[in-house]
Structure 1
Amino acid sequence: MSVVCDDYLVPTVDAICDYFRIPEDVAGATLVAFACNGPELLTNVCGIFVTKTSVGMGTVVGSAIFNVLVITGACPMVSPLGKLRVCKRRFLRDVLFSAISIVMLWWALPVVDLFKASALFGMSAVYALVVAKSDAWLGPAGQETSALENALLDSGASSESEGCKPETCKPIVGAPFEGDKPLAGAPFAGDGAGQEAPGFAAARLVSALSDIASRPIDFVLALTVPDLKAYNVSVPRMLVAFFSSMAWLSGTAYVVCLGSDAINRHWGVPQAFLGLTLVAVGTSWPNLMASVVTARAGRGAIAVSNALGSNVQNVFLVLAGPIWVSVLLNGDYVADGADILASVLWMGITLAFVAAAVAFEGFRLTSMAGWSFMVLYAAYLVQATLLA
């Protein structure tokens, strides 16, 4: 699902936005947000309408916790200087909306009626409007934090750059991860050339193995989905690329739901637990790998910002949208599994922990904070396993 989303669907939506001259900030908060969250969205749709389970809801909630703790924690850990400055304005905005989404989700569950579903789904439009108009209302917030600005942080200087740039989607979706090659023009970690940040070698090995395993998938997709990066863009080609990408996403989401259903039947593992852990990590793993590359190049602040921003639309759009349709068609939606409610509580705990850690360091993320996020995620996995 992530390969289809990152390599085909997101570039297709980008091309559509460019072709029809949709403003970047509006596109990023609407169409591109939809495309970037495609795996979670289609898994939720299949879980609600096909297998009638909570695997989709578990995936969205589990992915949100993974994004906040693991992706946010990994960025400073592999950053060349071991610390990042985050965009203060965007960070505060997304923390506020994330807190609202968690409170509303807790309020709406476990029985979601039309009023609750409409309130949740309607907030996606409110958030998109705030994202699209924040620069117009408050003025530009500056440019992305550079490696030089991070160096100023390392030397103790006070940089006021907030690292703000119009957001598009989840952390650096589709960003290249090519073994030992950094992004173009990016500095290597450490003091000397060729040195690696701690923990990067293991991530590079995992990515290389994943790349080898995905070669057959890449071959099949290249035969069936037009690559808009390699051809002249036209409306028919964009339509074919969009609908073929959505067809592949739908098919793979269906397989994921069937697989989790089979595991549930044969081994008795709860569907919600599978969504919260295995499926959530699987859908978010490529974003972690891409964020590691970006952070290693000294540009991890944008990955941190997008990890938080994507979680807001995961709740308001990806989760609430299909539930709203289900309520319209079938009446009240009932979420099964007490572990879902426990994980929503964990969403609040993790958000508060990350927000406090960032604010305490003066809107910086340090490698020490990153390690503490990893420990907290391990505690969450233990708790989810015990509840299962």
Structure 2
Amino acid sequence: MNLFVFGLMFGGLIFLATGGELLVRGASRLAALAGISPLVIGLTVVSFGTSSPELAVSIQASLAGKSDIAVGNVVGSNIFNILFILGACALVSPLVVAVQLIRREVPFMIAVSLLLIGQAFDGAISWFDGFILFSLLIGYIIWSIYASRQEREEVIAEYAQEFGSTKLPAQQRGMVLLLNIGLIVVGLVLLAIGSDWLVEGATSLARAFGVSDVVIGLTIVAAGTSLPEVVASIVATLKRERDIAIGNAIGSNIFNILGILGLSALVTPGGLTVAPSVVAFDLPVMIAVAFAALPIFISGLSINRWEGLLFLAYYVAYTAYLILAATQHDALPFFSSVMVLFVLPITAVTLSILLIHALRRRDWVKA
């Protein structure tokens, strides 16, 4: 049994690594061939594809009448994407932030997060709310592609420098295009299988050591649906495709709200119900994380290693709080007091100082 579990986990890791490599390679070359910036490919094709596990889980949960799982999956993934994925990528290598993200995508992510909490404030995301969210997703995709086409000449020149002449015969161009789409599809399939195997193996191993289902759900399963995003972003960072790495995390957050919750509310009779605890705690945390990304991105137009470490530390603190609350551990009151009285105020002051300095320099406006 143990050999099977370890084999399952090892196979999952191999599939994740291979799938991430194929996905990033196909996405970067598809972007160049189509004359679309790698950032937009990361914001759309890569991020939507790697969010497919969350989509499957949320729709299945919604149709089964388990709206809490559907909503919690999205909110938890959005917090994970910013704090863990960007934090881990920045530790691997400092990330250069495209000005487009600061001017368009991050404000849009914040706006749709605020829209979501406004819709959920009455305890439900209705069919009409879902229609609004999904319509915004369609508009966002069209807008992103149109905006990227304005940079077509620059992207084509970059492609010519890296991969050779862009003036390929029509038949050869079509074959290369299909090949890279195939790489993306195979990469996504391998990521999905790999994450499923790894989560199944890790869950079996955790149960063998007596870890409760509550803790397993809050940690292994919650992070498991985001494994494709983790691997895709880290592989993109290692391959110096940092636009794809950052775009994947931001784009996944936008897709999770507009696409996954929008579609889930549309297909679920009566819409989705939202637990009061999610409205009171988890959604405000998600919005706070979205807002926190802005000063980090603006300061120096990059995410440095210490900022990545800060993101990771907050994800660990958030996860620790969830586990302590779920198990009603005796340490919960002390942990909450430390976070509220010391950690959060210090972080708020630090982010405010970063934002003020960045606004004074106005680097992101001039760029």
Which TM-score bucket, shorter chain as reference? 0.5 to 0.7
Report the CA distance shift for 1:376/1:289 in structure 2 as closer, same or farther (over 3 A). same
Question: Which amino acid is the alignment partner of residue 254 of structure 2?
Answer: V
CA shift, 1:357, in A, is 1.6
Question: Which amino acid is the alignment partner of residue 380 of structure 1?
Answer: Y
Question: Which amino acid is the alignment partner of residue 347 of structure 1?
Answer: M
* Distance in 2 separating the partners of 1:320 and 1:351: 19
Question: Is 2:236 the partner of 1:294?
Answer: yes
Question: Is 2:299 the partner of 1:357?
Answer: no
Question: Is 2:108 the partner of 1:97?
Answer: yes
Select the residue among 126, 131, 134 that pairs with 1:118. 131
Corresponding residue for 2:144? 131
Corresponding residue for 2:51? 37
* Distance in 2 separating the partners of 1:115 and 1:5: 40
Select the residue among 312, 318, 326 that pairs with 2:260. 318
* Distance in 2 separating the partners of 1:40 and 1:331: 21
Corresponding residue for 1:336? 275
CA shift, 1:297, in A, is 4.3
Identity of matched residues, %: 25
* Distance in 2 separating the partners of 1:332 and 1:6: 38
Corresponding residue for 1:372? 310
Question: Which amino acid is the alignment partner of residue 352 of structure 1?
Answer: F
Any idea what SS the aligned residue of 2:275 has? coil
Contact 1:6 1:36 in 2 (8 A): no
* Distance in 1 separating the partners of 2:104 and 2:273: 31
Report the CA distance shift for 1:22/1:86 in structure 2 as closer, same or farther (over 3 A). closer
Select the residue among 68, 80, 83 that pairs with 1:54. 68
CA shift, 1:126, in A, is 1.7
Any idea what SS the aligned residue of 1:54 has? helix
Question: Which amino acid is the alignment partner of residue 358 of structure 1?
Answer: F
Any idea what SS the aligned residue of 2:300 has? coil
Any idea what SS the aligned residue of 2:95 has? strand
* Distance in 2 separating the partners of 1:40 and 1:142: 34
Contact 1:62 1:277 in 2 (8 A): no
Question: Is 2:82 the partner of 1:65?
Answer: no
Question: Which amino acid is the alignment partner of residue 123 of structure 1?
Answer: L
CA shift, 1:358, in A, is 2.0
Corresponding residue for 1:306? 248
Superposition TM-score, scaled by structure 1 size: 0.57
Report the CA distance shift for 1:374/1:232 in structure 2 as closer, same or farther (over 3 A). closer
* Distance in 2 separating the partners of 1:51 and 1:267: 24
Compare 29-38 and 283-292 and name the one that shifted more: 29-38
* Distance in 2 separating the partners of 1:36 and 1:284: 8
Contact 1:91 1:305 in 2 (8 A): no
* Residue pairs, 1:161-310, within 5 angstroms: 269=214, 274=217, 277-310=219-252
Corresponding residue for 1:345? 284
* Distance in 2 separating the partners of 1:296 and 1:6: 14
Contact 1:354 1:373 in 2 (8 A): no
Structure 1 residues 260-307: Cα deviation after superposition (integer angstroms, max 9, x where no partner): xxx9xx96849xx93x64323112234324433433444434312321
Gaps of 5+ in 2: 1-11, 160-174, 327-367
Any idea what SS the aligned residue of 2:130 has? helix
CA shift, 1:353, in A, is 1.6
Any idea what SS the aligned residue of 2:225 has? helix
After superposition, the CA RMSD in angstroms is 4.5
Any idea what SS the aligned residue of 1:331 has? coil
* Distance in 1 separating the partners of 2:286 and 2:66: 24
Contact 1:86 1:305 in 2 (8 A): no
Contact 2:137 2:259 in 1 (8 A): yes
Higher percent of residues as helix: 2
* Distance in 2 separating the partners of 1:108 and 1:89: 27
Select the residue among 98, 121, 127 that pairs with 1:87. 98
Any idea what SS the aligned residue of 1:75 has? helix
CA shift, 1:316, in A, is 0.4
Structure 1 residues 55-93: Cα deviation after superposition (integer angstroms, max 9, x where no partner): 2322221111111111111222122xxx33211113432
Superposition TM-score, scaled by structure 2 size: 0.60
Contact 1:108 1:117 in 2 (8 A): no
Gaps of 5+ in 1: 145-164, 167-230
Question: Which amino acid is the alignment partner of residue 106 of structure 1?
Answer: I
Contact 1:60 1:280 in 2 (8 A): no
* Distance in 2 separating the partners of 1:86 and 1:293: 17
